[in-house]
């Protein structure tokens, strides 16, 4: 490219000009982004909290509601710690995205029946995967399940969020004879010994195994409560 001399007579190629230009540009951009982030931050956090509540409701098979917040308050009864003791914190005050979000049990009531929702988190192929598993009052039968991911491959690993995958978990048991066995995700056509299993996703093997590991390790954290 030809040297760029503008009409005012100073060179846009001089070192001073280049440095000043870079500094001014960076300052403007930094200010712009910082302003945008702090102006939009509270709205974004509110969205994230609301979305997390929708995810918990989704594990309870509640996907249609006009007001997620109200539906959440109606169905979630208590917050329990990982041994099943009450957390001493009202549902309305609990931050579902807070530091202890993965160490609590949501005791819920769906049409009068008690359900327990347990948060799960793990690592997929490219990034984090997480979910919520809802158990019946017997703490073993899966009532509903929700999975999500940060960056799994679209059409392959990302299929874990689809009903076709999630619905397989329903009515499976995470316990056998009072022992926590979890639910394995196995290759289609194969079986897992001594525990319930579901089919993985063809082409999404690593994500499928990651889900299997995530369900097991996350439930392990609550073993005391589940096998009590």
What b/e string do you get for 122-131 counting C-beta neighbours within 10 Å, with b at 16 or more? bbbbeeebbb
CA 116 to CA 173: how far, in whole Å?
14
Per CB under 8 A, 206 contacts other proteins: no
Among 23, 27, 33, 113, binds other proteins (CB under 8 A): 33
Contact mark string toward other proteins, 158..197, x via CB under 8 A: ----------------------------------------
Single out the segment in contact with other proteins by CB under 8 A; choices: 20-28, 58-66, 80-88, 117-125: 20-28
**Residue 115 near residue 170 (C-beta atoms within 8 A):** no
**Residue 72 near residue 53 (C-beta atoms within 8 A):** yes
Single out the segment in contact with other proteins by CB under 8 A; choices: 24-32, 110-118, 182-190, 216-224: 24-32
Place of tokens 């009072």: 178
Cβ count near 37 (within 10 Å):
10
Per CB under 8 A, 23 contacts other proteins: no
Alpha-carbon distances, residue 101 vs 49, 74, 87, 118 (angstroms): 11, 20, 12, 10
Strand-pair category, 76-81 with 183-186: unpaired
* Closer CB to other proteins, 162 or 220, in the complex: 162
* Closer CB to other proteins, 124 or 225, in the complex: 124
Among 27, 40, 70, 90, binds other proteins (CB under 8 A): 40
Among 92, 154, 177, 189, binds other proteins (CB under 8 A): 154
Q: What is the DSSP string of 180-196?
A: E--EEEE-TT---TTSE
Among 27, 44, 90, 171, binds other proteins (CB under 8 A): 44
> What is Dmax (Cα atoms) for the chain?
87
Interface residue list for other proteins (CB under 8 A): 1, 3-4, 6, 12-13, 17-18, 21-22, 25-26, 29, 32-33, 36-37, 40, 43-44, 47-48, 50-51, 150-151, 153-156, 202-203
């Amino acid at each position: 490219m030809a040297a760029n001399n503008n009409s005012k007579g100073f060179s846009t190629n001089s070192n001073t000009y280049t440095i000043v230009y870079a500094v001014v540009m960076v300052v403007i951009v930094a200010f712009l982004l910082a302003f945008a982030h702090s102006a939009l931050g509270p709205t974004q956090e509110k969205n994230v909290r609301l979305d997390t509540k929708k995810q918990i409701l989704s594990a309870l098979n509640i996907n249609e509601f006009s007001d997620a917040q109200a539906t959440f308050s109606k169905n979630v009864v208590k917050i329990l710690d990982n041994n099943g003791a009450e957390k001493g914190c009202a549902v309305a005050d609990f931050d579902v995205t807070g530091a202890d979000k993965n160490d609590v049990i949501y005791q819920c009531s769906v049409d009068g029946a008690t359900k327990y929702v347990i948060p799960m988190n793990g690592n997929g192929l490219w990034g984090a995967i997480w979910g919520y598993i809802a158990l019946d009052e017997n703490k073993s039968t899966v009532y509903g399940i929700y999975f999500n991911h940060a960056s799994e491959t679209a059409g392959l690993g990302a299929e874990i969020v689809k009903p076709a995958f999630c619905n397989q978990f329903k009515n499976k048991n995470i316990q056998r004879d009072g022992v926590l066995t979890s639910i394995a995700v196995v290759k289609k056509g194969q079986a897992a010994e001594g525990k319930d299993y579901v089919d993985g996703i063809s082409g999404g093997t690593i994500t499928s195994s990651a889900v299997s590991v995530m369900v097991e390790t996350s439930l392990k954290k609550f073993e005391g409560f589940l096998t009590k």
